[in-house]
Amino acid sequence: MQTHVPIRNALISVSDKLGLADFARGLVAAGVKIYSTGGTRKFLEQVGLAIEDVGSYTGFPEMMDGRVKTLHPKIFGGILQRHDRADDRKSAAEHGIIPFELVVVNLYPFEDTVARTGVTDEEAIEQIDIGGPSLIRAAAKNHRFTAVATAPEQYATILDQVSSTGGTTLPLRRELAAAAFTRTARYDGAISEYFASSTAQDDFPLGIQLSLHRKKVLRYGENPHQRGALYSLTESGGAHLVSAHQRHGKELSYNNLLDLDSALAIVRTMPDYAAVVVKHNNPCGAATTTSQAVAIRRALDGDPVSAFGSVIGVNRTLEAASAEVLCEPDRFVEAIVAPDYEPAAVEILTTRPKWKANVRLMEVGPIGEQPAAWQFRHIAGGMLVQDADLAHNETDKWQVVTDSKPTDHEMADLRLAWIVARHVKSNAVVLVKDGMLVGVGAGQMSRVDSVEIALRKAGPRAVGSVLGSDAFFPFADSIPMAAEGGVTAIVQPGGSRRDEDVIAACNQNRIAMIFTGHRHFKH
């Protein structure tokens, strides 16, 4: 099998010109003749390179506004010919076909086009590339003899080999082929999803193409005996862990990523200076106030035992004063996620505590609202798909259903309790006091158990606290327990057949209760 293939002729036809000028100059300097089309040829000629016109080579001009230009036997014969086959070489010679040992193609920006607000069907259709995917697939199929570049980040590696050896190696061509087929699969998937979405009768298309790009292989998965990797589902913007910049620390683990994602989701919806402490994918501390350092301290103090070895999320630039709090004795932080960091904060976190060398500092950029999206959940044999739980539940739609009315102070705590409860595993009950999470009951089979655990976690701090519940109380039995613990107000969706019993129990115990009308199960 031929491993090293000299590159004499390259076919270049790209939509994205990023890095192309330097790449083409390097190829020409290495003795490669470049053939190109339309806009790409003009671009390369403008930077001073002599380019062979594809139309002149094939004897067939571009037509139909560029829809037909590379779809020609002299092009595909040059890409697909097998150099070790005498019959292929004979056919090429008979028809004047030259070999193309390198094909450089990226595709019309269909994904970017359909992502624009107000794009028309005609605009979308015109960005469906025909020749590009065909060229890519042909070159990738014949990777024993043809290298294919589909992204600017591949140019440097290809040019290094061409400059030093005059050609490419089989391992590189095979790697490029794999990337090429991945690219065309993602492209076709985007087109398929566009048409499926536009023809769906119920907003859920008949087919969904999930195209994932591997970002990194992780040390292991949820447990050491499981393998794990991180894949990117989309290249869209926004603050998220997949595209975050790691400022410091050892490699992120599978569980770190899950916890950091949860921390980011929570602080994204919190007001003022906010901080959250996450352990095993549940918040164990959270606080909002007008000082970030105070918010972090109060979040850590919500459950100091659980906070050891946790991840921290904040919704503003991490300040030096906050770093001082995190470095206090007996603190241990696995990872932090923040929009960005003050230089002094980075210096403190990476030089002072015992865990300084290991703490992961993740920078995600400005935190805005999470864009509307679908959520996918794997089950054996398939996937569940749903809208992301992004309901805002404005407080002006809340309904006070008891004789007692919440005070302004209680209302502020109820809002925080409701924000946090939606991010706790069901059945979820949270206690908040003075802008601080003081007790969490998570993942229990009965709501009574969740109330009991939250009260036990809060201890004496439960007195004067408010309670948030992610779903309705099916019975009134939790209310006397909450009252005995010192709870003064409750926020919950309502909707139980026994709502009247629950309201009566609250009135009997002088507890204010709000119905929100929204449930927030998180299984």
Active site residues: 141, 280
Secondary structure of 352-380 in the HEC alphabet? CCCCCCCCEEEECCCCCCCCCCEEEEEEC
**What is the signed CA dihedral for 497, 445, 224, 364, rounded to 10 degrees?**
40
Q: Report yes or no: 325 and 250 within 8 Å, Cβ to Cβ.
A: no
- Maximum Cα–Cα distance across the chain: 98
Asked if the peptide bond before residue 509 counts as cis, ω within 30 degrees of 0, the response is no
Q: Report yes or no: 425 and 452 within 8 Å, Cβ to Cβ.
A: no
Secondary structure of 494-511 in the HEC alphabet? CCCCCHHHHHHHHHHCCC
> Distances from the Cα of 56 to the Cαs of 9, 63, 97, 102, 105, in angstroms?
15, 13, 13, 19, 20
Q: Report which residue type is found at 336.
A: I
Measure the CA–CA gap between 281 and 151, rounded to whole angstroms.
Answer: 36
Measure the CA–CA gap between 150 and 179, rounded to whole angstroms.
Answer: 8
Q: 264: closest CA among 249, 251, 281, 289?
A: 281
- B/e letters for 345-367, b = 16+ CB within 10 Å, e = fewer, are bbebbbeebebeeebbbbbbeeb
Measure the CA–CA gap between 287 and 78, rounded to whole angstroms.
Answer: 65
Q: 328: closest CA among 358, 296, 282, 372?
A: 296
Backbone torsion region of residue 425, taken as left when φ is above 0, otherwise alpha when ψ lies between -120 and 50, otherwise beta: beta
Instruction: Tell the burial category of 464 from Cβ atoms under 10 Å away from its Cβ (0-12, 13-18, 19+).
Output: middle
Measure the CA–CA gap between 182 and 190, rounded to whole angstroms.
Answer: 12
End-to-end CA distance of the chain: 53
